[in-house]
Amino acid sequence: MERSSIHSRQRGFSFWGIALNVLIFGAFLVVVLRVVPLYMEYLTVKDVITRAGDEFDPSKQGLGDIRTHVRKLLNTSQVYVITADDMEIFREKGMVVIDATYEVRFPLVWIIDGVMVFDDLRVEVNGR
């Protein structure tokens, strides 16, 4: 009786291979679940200041009216990461500027925090 010189090998994941994949997937999921809601709020803030800028009528409204309108839009959209008082609304070279630049710090795991900086939230509207 002849024995085959080719031995069959087991294929597939070992326990450690599965554990490593679960760990990597879990870490990715934690980051996604922490970042996505903040990014969605950023998109809402961007929409709010764009809408406030588009609806501004310089012949009938002043800077206080814009702030009040932004406050109402943020309240309606349930945005709590930034308030209308945190935004800078001012006149510059004949334009009305709404600057809503902000940053958010959030916990990721244990002592590791994440930071998201939203520095492109600036809308310029013709103020004349």
Give residue limits of the domains in the chain.
Answer: 15-126
**Cβ burial, residue 96 (10 Å; 0-12/13-18/19+):** buried
Q: Write the CB contacts of 79 (distance below 8 Å, at least 6 apart in sequence).
A: 41, 44, 45, 48
pTM of the model: 0.82
Q: In this structure, what are the phi and psi dihedrals at residue 44, rounded to the nearest 5 degrees?
A: -65, -45
pLDDT tens string, the chain, 128 residues long: the values are: 555 556 667 677 799 999 999 999 999 999 999 999 999 999 999 999 999 999 999 889 999 999 999 999 999 999 999 999 999 999 999 899 999 999 999 998 889 999 999 999 999 998 76
Q: Write the CB contacts of 68 (distance below 8 Å, at least 6 apart in sequence).
A: 84
Dihedral sign from CA coordinates of 32, 35, 38, 42: negative
